[in-house]
Amino acid sequence: MNGYLPPAAPPRAPQHTPGIGARVCRWIVLRAGWRLEGTLPDVAKVILVGAPHSSFWDGVWGMLMKTALGLRIGIMIKAELFRGPLGWLLRKLDAIPVQRKRAFGVVEQMVRHFADSDALWLGITPEGTRRAVVRWRSGFWQIARGAQVPVQLVYLDYPSKTIGLGPLWHMGPDLDAEMARIRAFYAPYRGKHRGV
């Protein structure tokens, strides 16, 4: 085993009470050789931007890692999926229901969700799909600007089995400049099937 995980999450990060699930996920992540590189931010609110996103396995390893660390990291899921017994499971996995047919959009819903929360870490993949895309979606930038929360860059590098944490940035007003800066950060890293 050559993986590494920090012993504890930062104090201000939203956390789950440690339990058997965290210990099992920690064992799986370490046994598989994955490691966390960088420092988790000690902030109550942040958007975690994850790339490159090229495989279903990104979500599996991300979910195992967040559970192993005891972190509550929300992901946006369409509200229709919360009906019935699946809703219970999605809430346990920290999913956040979004109404896609409301008069106000997903960005506005998430800005309001940040405003209504004492602590919220939100995970977003800017590619929006596992396929290679030329232009990333700007939702994370819009949410970060509207909610006035920082963005933490998170990379998945499959050759080194690393989930890494880059700089904590506040998004400026120039979308194209911010996207260029962020994509440049991700350039060295390779997902399961491709880079950015």
- pLDDT tens for the chain, residues 1 to 196: 467 788 778 999 999 988 899 999 999 999 999 999 999 999 999 999 998 887 889 888 999 999 999 999 998 887 788 888 888 788 887 888 887 665 468 899 999 999 999 999 999 988 755 566 666 889 999 999 999 999 999 999 999 999 999 989 999 999 999 999 999 999 999 988 767 7
Please say whether the beta carbons of 171 and 178 come within 8 A: yes
- What pLDDT score was predicted for residue 11? 94
- What pLDDT score was predicted for residue 54? 79
Backbone dihedral region of 163: left (phi > 0), alpha (psi from -120 to 50 degrees) or beta?
beta
The pair of three-digit structure tokens given for residue 130, joined into one six-digit string: 């596992």
Following DSSP, what letter does each residue of 13-46 receive, concatenated?
S-BPPP-HHHHHHHHHHHHTT-EEES-----SEE
Provide the residue ranges of all domains of the chain, joining segments of one domain with +. Answer: 20-186
Phi then psi dihedrals of residue 127, to 5 deg: -70, -30
Residues 6+ apart with CB under 8 A from 57: 192
Residue 104 and residue 100: Cα distance in Å, rounded?
A: 9
Residue 129 and residue 151: Cα distance in Å, rounded?
A: 20
* CATH architecture, domain defined by 20-186: 3-Layer(aba) Sandwich (3.40)
Q: How far is CA 54 from each of CA 4, 59, 115, 178, rounded to the nearest angstrom?
A: 23, 10, 32, 22
Which pTM value belongs to this model? 0.87
- What pLDDT score was predicted for residue 1? 47
Residues 6+ apart with CB under 8 A from 140: 47, 49, 124, 126, 151
